[in-house]
Amino acid sequence: MATAGRPSYSRQVNRAPPAAVLLLLASAFLPNPAIADDTMRCGTRIVSVGDGKDRVRSLCGEPTSVAFVGTIGRRSYPDYDPYDYPYFGPAWVELPVEVWTYNFGSTKLLRKLRFVGDELVEIRTDGHGY
């Protein structure tokens, strides 16, 4: 209802349904088990994918177990060559694949670290420790 000299304004508020908002918030804070971890905390120190075996061993200590899985063949020269130099040497090298298991106790999950050569390529969680 408009009074003399004042225009009438209608206020329209677009509200999202409460269920949709709750679902959005819940999906944002729930962990996604399909996503692999790329870091692991060892006390106050952090190791991440790309670190070497010596760095992981110095920050986290000796693993509970080490399993030799096999070997994997990789190119020994990079795919990119900005100067197009010829490469003389082996085209393929065999790199060992190891899985290190860290057991941080029965209240925490086991952590399995996969190394290809000297490089940490994957960090996974397994069941509860012992």
pLDDT in tens, 77-114: 666 656 666 666 667 789 999 999 999 888 988 999 99
More confident residue, 47 or 25: 47
> Which candidate, 79, 127, 71, 78, places its Cα nearest to that of 98?
71
CA dist., res. 87 & res. 129, Å (int): 47
Is residue 47 within 8 Å of residue 55, measured between CB atoms? yes
Does 44 have pLDDT greater than 50? yes
**Sequence letter at residue 59:** L
Put the strands of the sheet holding 92-102 in their side by side order. Answer: 65-75, 92-102, 109-116, 119-128
Q: Is the pLDDT of residue 19 over 90?
A: no
User: What residue has token string 């206020």?
Assistant: 11
What is the 8-class DSSP label of residue 36?
Answer: P
Quick check: 62 and 42 in contact, CB under 8 A?
A: no
Distance in angstroms (rounded) separating the CA atoms of residues 73 and 75: 7
